[in-house]
Structure 1
Amino acid sequence: MPKNLTPRHVEHEQVGILLPCHSCMISIAFDDIVHLEGIRNYTIFYLTDGSLQISARTLKVFEQELPFKQFYRTHKSHLINLNHLYQYDTDEHKFAIMSNARKVLISRRKRKEFLSRILLSSTPTDL
């Protein structure tokens, strides 16, 4: 891999991520991740089955490891899986509503880019 490319710019062939646990590694498929929330040096994974996984790594680390086309950083504390975006709150323009019914904050500075991103990722059948 050329030195000027970071893992974020490389197409991922993998279908999931490994999270270190107390005495093991947990494999989580990208499609099973609804969104991630960063709290200080920890990241909480919200999964499709309703469970949570906590990692002692920062959100920034996971942002670089997850596929760019599928995940978007909406706020300094949130990273969402665009495949699990259920609704965008157009009244207040502040929240993405996810498939697990959780509201995820979209920062003011990211709103325009977020809208462009979801419009570009939509196909005519999605609209």
Structure 2
Amino acid sequence: MIRAVIIDDEKNNIENMVSLLMKHELPVTIVGSATNADDAISTIVATNPDLLFLDIQMPDKDGFDVLKALPHYQFEVIFVTAFDQYGIQAVKFSAIDYLLKPVNPEELKTSILKVEAKLNQRKQNIQLENLMDLIRNKDAKKDHKLALASTKEIRFVNTDEIIRCESSNAYTQFYLTDGKNIMVSKPIFEYEEMLTNYDFIRCHQSHLVNAKFIKSLVREDSGYLLLTDGTRIPISRGKKENVLKALNTIKK
């Protein structure tokens, strides 16, 4: 059984989570709960859980403050929260599971299955370490690492190491500065949402490009972006205006 702690400032949310876990007979036993950050920290230290169900938005101190106060991350985390723009973006960046309230039972089941698989490996939670680096250094974008989960591993790459992304149905291929490519089973639009603030430009339905590696915008042949490695990336008719606007904004 997975030993879990639930942290949420509303008691009814804790009760609802317990009810969902019991109703769907999920392999989780609750070893503690807390409705504020300070109690959460002491509960985690006392129980040494395998898993935290952690709310991001809480009064005074939030869920990230709880994690900052802990010296090690030898547990998994499922964030259970109302929408929190930066928080959710950081969580996605580190490929950590989150559930939006009200919790969907099927999504909860899927998250628990992932936790089981990770706990079987019993490794230090590198994804959570990466998340906390993002939270602590949210303004140092050049040092932010994106978690790319392939079938073989989860690789953490600096955004500056990504030249471009190319979609292939529900998959996204990442082209890196070291010459390697990584295929990830997520659609490109999810990465567009994550990487726009890092000067990535969606120039085509199938292409997302790091502006750092754009050498020039060529107007012939319907228009394309010439990258520093010689790659030509097409610009779709519907994206031209947005590409020009993005390039002008980045230059400023």
TM range, smaller chain: 0.7 to 0.9
Q: Is 1:24 matched with 2:104? A: no
Q: What residue number does 1:107 align with?
A: 236
Q: 1:4 to 1:17 in 2, by over 3 A?
A: closer
In 1, Cα distance between equivalents of 2:241 and 2:234: 14
Match among 190, 194, 202 for residue 61 of structure 1: 190
2:227 corresponds to 1:98: yes
> RMSD over aligned Cα, in angstroms?
2.3
SS of equivalent to 1:3: coil
Tell me the equivalent position of 1:82: 211
Q: Deviations over 1:19-39 (max 9, x none)?
A: 113343101110010100001
SS in 1 for 2:197: coil
Cα separation, 2, equivalents of 1:70 and 1:80: 8
User: Does 1 or 2 have the higher relative contact order (CA < 8 Å, sep 6+)?
Assistant: 1
Contact 2:150 2:182 in 1 (8 A): no
The alpha carbon displacement at 1:120 in A equals 2.2
- Which of the two has higher C-alpha Rg? 2
**Comparing 44-53 and 67-76, the one that deviates more:** 67-76
Percent of aligned pairs with the same amino acid = 22
- Normalising by structure 2, what TM-score? 0.43
Unaligned regions of 5+ residues in structure 2, if any? 1-56, 58-81, 90-133
Mapped partners of 2:204, 2:85: distance in 1: 24
Larger strand fraction of residues: 1
Give every structure 1 segment of 4 or more consecutive aligned residues whose post-TM-superposition deviation is greater than 2 Å: 1-8, 21-24, 90-93
Q: Which structure 1 residue ranges, 5 or more long, are not aligned?
A: none
Contact 2:159–2:198 (8 Å) recurs in 1: no
- Give the aligned length: 120
Q: Deviations over 1:43-85 (max 9, x none)?
A: 1111112221111111011112224241111111110101111
Name the structure with the higher helix share. Answer: 2
Could you tell me which residue of structure 2 aligns to residue 3 of structure 1? 83
Alpha-carbon shift at residue 98 of structure 1 (Å): 1.2
Segment of structure 1 superposing worse, 60-69 or 75-84? 60-69
